[in-house]
Amino acid sequence: MMPAALEGIRVLELSGLYGAYAGKLFADLGAAVTLVEPPEGSPMRAKPPFAGDRPGPDSSMPFAYFAANKGSVVVNLRSAAGLAGFEELAANAHLVLLSDHPDAAAVNLEKLRAANPALVCVRITPYGVDGPYAGYVGDDLTLMAMGGLLTMAGFPGEAPVVAYGEQGLLAADQFAAVGALAAVMRAERTGVGELIDVSIQESIVMALENAAQTYQLEGRVRNRSAAPARVGSGIFPCKDGEIYLLAGGVGETAMWGNFSDWLLSEKVAGAEIFGSPEWDDTKPEARTIFERLFLPYAVGKTKEELYAKGKEWRVPVAPMSTPSDLLRNAQLTYRGFFVPLPGEGPTASVRVPGAPYKFSATPWELKCPAPSFAGSVHGKETAA
Amino acid sequence: MNDLPLSGVRIIDFCWIGAGSYTTKLLADLGADVIKVESSRSLDSLRLAAPYKDGIRGINRSGYFADRNSSKRSVTVNMKDPRGVELVHQLIADADVVANNFRPGTMEKLGVGYEALQKINPDLIYIGMSMNGDEGPDRTMLGYGITIAAITSFLGLGGYPDREPTGTGTFYPDHVPNPTHAAFAIMAALRHKWRTGEGQKIDMAQTEPMLALMPVSVMDYQLNGRETKRQGNRLEGCAPRGVYPTAGDDRWIAISIASDVQWRALTDLLQDDRLARPEWQQMVARAESADEIDRLIAEATGDRDGYALMEALQRRGVAAGVVQNAADLVDRDPQLRHRGHWRYLPHAEMGDSLYNGPPFQFASGSVGPRFAAPLLGEHTYQVFQEELGKSADEVDLLVKEGVLV
Model confidence pLDDT, tens digit, residues A119-174: 999 999 999 999 999 999 999 999 999 999 999 999 998 999 999 999 999 999 99
Question: In this model, does residue A377 exceed pLDDT 70?
Answer: no
Same domain, B192 and B323: no
Q: Which parts of chain B sit beneath pLDDT 70?
A: 1-2
Question: In this model, does residue A381 exceed pLDDT 60?
Answer: no
Question: In this model, does residue A1 exceed pLDDT 90?
Answer: no
Q: Residue B233 domain-assigned?
A: no
Provide the 8-state DSSP code for A104: G
Same domain, B42 and B154: yes
Same domain, B63 and B182: yes
Q: What is the CA radius of gyration of chain A?
A: 25
- Chain A positions touching B326 (Cβ under 8 A) are 148, 208, 211-212, 214-215, 221-222
Question: In this model, does residue A384 exceed pLDDT 90?
Answer: no
Q: Residue A116 domain-assigned?
A: yes
Amino acid at B190: L
CA–CA gap between residue A378 and residue B1 (Å, rounded): 49
Q: What is the mean pLDDT of residues A105-119?
A: 98
Is the distance from CB of B360 to CB of A198 less than 8 angstroms? yes
ipTM of the complex: 0.98
Better pLDDT: A57 or A280: A57
Q: What percent of the residues of chain B are helix, what percent strand, and what percent coil, each to the nearest 5? A: 40, 15, 45
Q: What is the mean pLDDT of residues A104-112?
A: 97
Q: Residue B1 domain-assigned?
A: no
Last residue of a domain, one of B282, B308, B330: B330
Catalytic residue, from B174, B273, B305, B331: name it. B174
First-to-last CA distance in chain A?
A: 18
Of A142, A239, A113, A229, nearest in space to B244 by CA: A142
Q: Find which of B97, B134, B164, B216 to mutate to test the A interface (most A CBs within 10 Å of its CB).
A: B216
Task: Look at A352 and B150 and tell me if their CB atoms are within 8 Å.
Answer: no
Q: Residue A186 domain-assigned?
A: yes
Q: Residue A316 domain-assigned?
A: yes
- Please count the structural domains in chain B: 2
Q: Residue A3 domain-assigned?
A: no
**What is the residue range of B120's domain?**
10-212+340-400
Q: Residue B122 domain-assigned?
A: yes
Q: Please indicate whether residue B29 is annotated as part of the active site.
A: no
Last residue of a domain, one of B309, B330, B351: B330
Task: Look at B151 and A321 and tell me if their CB atoms are within 8 Å.
Answer: yes
Same domain, B199 and B268: no
How far is it between the farthest Cα atoms of chain B? 85
Same domain, B247 and B322: yes
Q: Residue A300 domain-assigned?
A: yes
Q: Residue B230 domain-assigned?
A: no
Distances (CA, A) of A14 to A38, A74, A95, B183, B243: 9, 11, 11, 24, 30
Q: Residue B227 domain-assigned?
A: no
Same domain, B180 and B273: no
Provide the 8-state DSSP code for B347: E
Same domain, A49 and A18: yes
CATH number at residue A78: 3.40.50.10540
Q: Residue A181 domain-assigned?
A: yes
CA–CA gap between residue B287 and residue B178 (Å, rounded): 35
pLDDT digits (tens, 9 = 90+) for B139-177: 999 888 889 999 999 999 999 999 999 999 999 999 999
Amino acid at A294: F
Same domain, B96 and B185: yes
- Please count the structural domains in chain A: 2
Of B163, B165, B133, B223, nearest in space to A327 by CA: B223
Same domain, B306 and B344: no
Same domain, A194 and A56: yes
Task: Look at A178 and B183 and tell me if their CB atoms are within 8 Å.
Answer: yes
Same domain, B264 and B374: no
Of B31, B99, B114, nearest in space to B365 by CA: B31
Q: What is the CA radius of gyration of chain B?
A: 25
How many CB atoms sit inside 10 A of residue B273's CB? 8
Same domain, B56 and B201: yes
Last residue of a domain, one of A293, A321, A349: A321
B291 in reach of chain A (CB within 8 A): no
Same domain, B26 and B137: yes
Same domain, B297 and B152: no
How many CB atoms sit inside 10 A of residue A252's CB? 12
CA–CA gap between residue A5 and residue A28 (Å, rounded): 10
Task: Look at A146 and B322 and tell me if their CB atoms are within 8 Å.
Answer: yes
Judging by DSSP bridges, how do beta strands B10-13 and B33-38 pair with one another? parallel
CATH number at residue B64: 3.40.50.10540
Q: Give A377 to chain B, closest Cα distance, Å.
A: 26
pLDDT digits (tens, 9 = 90+) for B202-214: 999 999 999 999 9
**pLDDT value for A225:** 67
Same domain, A317 and A347: no
Same domain, A314 and A341: no
CATH number at residue A253: 3.30.1540.10
Same domain, A241 and A165: no
CA–CA gap between residue A115 and residue A160 (Å, rounded): 47
Q: What chain B residue is nearest to A134 in terms of C-alpha separation?
A: B335
**pLDDT value for B1:** 39
Same domain, A190 and A57: yes
Q: Find which of A130, A314, A358, A366 to mutate to test the B interface (most B CBs within 10 Å of its CB).
A: A358
Same domain, A147 and A286: no
**What is the residue range of A44's domain?**
10-207+336-379
Same domain, A297 and A365: no
**pLDDT value for A340:** 98
Question: In this model, does residue A314 exceed pLDDT 50?
Answer: yes
Same domain, A45 and A165: yes
Q: What chain A residue is nearest to B189 in terms of C-alpha separation?
A: A5
Amino acid at B210: M
Q: Residue A1 domain-assigned?
A: no
- Chain A positions touching B143 (Cβ under 8 A) are 316, 318
**pLDDT value for B144:** 85
CA–CA gap between residue B343 and residue B54 (Å, rounded): 19
pLDDT digits (tens, 9 = 90+) for A210-229: 999 999 999 999 999 645 57
Q: pTM for this one?
A: 0.97
Q: Residue A356 domain-assigned?
A: yes
